[in-house]
Structure 1
Amino acid sequence: MPHKLPHLLFDFGGVIINIDYNRTLEAMRRFGSGIEFTQAAQAGLFDELETGQLTPTQFRTGLREHYQLTATDEQLDAAWNAMLLDVPAERLALIAELRAQGYQTALLSNTNHLHITEINRRLQQQYGLRNGIADCLDRVFYSQEVGMRKPGEEIFRHALDQMNWKAEETLFIEDSPQHIATARRLGLHTLFLTPPLTLQDALPAAIRAFSA
């Protein structure tokens, strides 16, 4: 029988925060061409940033060299952060309600220093969260801090081990199919959150299905 109170492992972008990759592509293309970045696949430069192998300074240099971009640091940062949209209050409220009910929660995110700094700045400004999204969950796992990224199996195993969770007792909420595939292969339950589904629409039903 499955665990009656599943542990909840959340992706960040497209699940808690709204994301529009095209906004960054459009912004970058004002400074040059040939930028490669999608939800499903991305160029090595971005992978290296997300696994902590590049500093923001090295990332900006790489953008200029690889894609012949002519832009200031501030312009590049603004373009890179353009994909970051809003964090709806009702999503944070749902997570807070679930935690109050006894659910353990964690975040597993492919992210980078520039993005998480900007997101957490906004969360502090809008919601008064001093530590950003970390104030909303029991634990956060950022790819650039652990040196691994989804869809690799290692980062999932790391999060489960650190949380002392069993895969079969964990529900993973994600909007990228390749990450869902890894989670399922490892035995996690999954909620594939595709538009127009939102967290508050789909998660309560997924939890009920898990516990049935």
Structure 2
Amino acid sequence: MKEKVIIFDFGNILISLDFERSFRAFEDLLNVDWSDRMIPGVVQKAIYQYDRGRISDEEFAKTFHVYNPDASFADIYKAWNTLLGIIPSNRFEFLLSLKAKYKLALLSNINNLHLNEVHHYLRNEHSVHDFEERFFDQVFYSHIIGKRKPDLETYRYVEENLGISGENILFIDDMEENVLAARNCGWNACVHNPAHSIENKFSEYLIAAGFE
């Protein structure tokens, strides 16, 4: 069954995310009111560039100096990383069980600061030092490949590098726009609600894709 590929998004699929905590951290640091919980346009543009590896950590952090020029890079990095939550310990066994049956890949809009923080968390909390190599056959991080979901070129790049056609791919993401883009490229794709664990919902996604 290894001709089938399961592609997971990372945030809100394998690791929890806390957007509310992140907004509060930046409100406190920058002395701003983002009560509408909408990311300002100038920050959105910077995130898009940062997630594609087009700007450095420092250049990204400078974006927030529009709101508070006295905020240190260290404090901005800390606030940025408050978005990241936890990976439950049973998730690792879940991934290994899938890897025995399918080719597993990870496709994530991510950046250098978040990935470094994830690796730090994995080492300290789970004694996992080889996350990508142990649990996946291929990994596609946006800031490394220079491409970001839901841009169609991202899915074409992944498909080409996997060497497999879209009908043999099941992609799981928490963002509808990312899933719709994948479907437009001929992939089987499902929107995952992070209120549920991926372990409890995964069989449904397999059935929907015709993989079972």
Give yes or no for TM over 0.5.
yes
Residue by residue over 1:93-119, the C-alpha shift from the partner in whole angstroms, topping out at 9 and shown as x without a partner, is 11110112x310100000000000000
How far has the Cα of 1:131 moved from its partner?
A: 3.0
Q: Is the 8 A contact 2:105 2:139 kept in 1?
A: yes
Of stretches 199-208 and 46-55 in structure 1, the one that deviates more from structure 2 is 199-208
Q: Could you say what secondary structure the match of 1:47 adopts?
A: helix
**TM (normalized to structure 2)?**
0.89
Partners of 2:44 and 2:89 lie apart in 1 by 33
Please state if 1:159 is matched with 2:158: yes
Please state if 1:37 is matched with 2:39: yes
State the partner residue of 1:12: 10
State the partner residue of 1:47: 48
Partners of 1:190 and 1:200 lie apart in 2 by 16
- Residues 1:4 and 1:114: Cα distance change in structure 2 (over 3 Å): closer
Q: Which amino acid aligns with 1:99?
A: K
How far has the Cα of 1:204 moved from its partner?
A: 2.2
| Aligned CA-pair RMSD | 2.0
Partners of 2:178 and 2:44 lie apart in 1 by 17
- Identity across the alignment (%): 26
- Residues 1:9 and 1:78: Cα distance change in structure 2 (over 3 Å): same
State the partner residue of 2:118: 119
Structure 1 residue runs of 5 or longer lacking an equivalent are: none
Q: Could you say what secondary structure the match of 2:84 adopts?
A: coil
Q: Which amino acid aligns with 1:52?
A: G
- Residues 1:115 and 1:149: Cα distance change in structure 2 (over 3 Å): same
- Residues 1:184 and 1:161: Cα distance change in structure 2 (over 3 Å): same
Q: Could you say what secondary structure the match of 2:154 adopts?
A: helix
Q: Is the 8 A contact 1:191 1:203 kept in 2?
A: no
Please state if 1:22 is matched with 2:24: no
**TM (normalized to structure 1)?**
0.89
